[in-house]
Amino acid sequence: MNLTHLNRAGEVHMVDISGKTPGEREARASGVVRCAPETIQLIEEQAARKGDVLAVIRVAGIQGAKRTPELIPLAHPIAVHAVTIDLELTENTIEIAATVKTADATGIEMEALTAVSCAALTAIDMVKGVDRGAYIERIWLEEKRGGRSGTWVRA
């Protein structure tokens, strides 16, 4: 198995995707932010001093997907055609899922992961004034579809 961002001399480079065929591609990533139950209650009641926490988290996720090539050094600037950020509150978590779509020549997995990362970091920023112990529990790719490698789904 070879790392694609290393050339034959072992030097970092941006992968050449000029010969790849554009096509529909989709990726879904998820993450969990753990908070105190009182923090979740504030979010549910829209009583946080910073405003509508879920709306800000959602916008941050969308913005993160769109700005991925600015944040991840070797990510290609590709067209992001759709971003959906789904949020679910449990007793002590904010569950984040991002689905990102493109019809470009390379995968959209990094955009989905960046969307979740930015949404999770924003969740922490929105609640840190009342919950210093809030933390990101995990972020990972759930599935990807399209492209040369086809479909992959987390077991």
Catalytic residues: 125
∠ CA 89-94-97, rounded to 5° = 100
How long is the chain? 155
The span from the CA of 25 to the CA of 140, in Å, is 18
Cα dihedral 7→13→14→20 (10° resolution): -20
The three-point CA angle 111-116-119 to 5° equals 120
User: What type of residue sits at position 27?
Assistant: A
Distance CA 105, CA 20 (A): 5
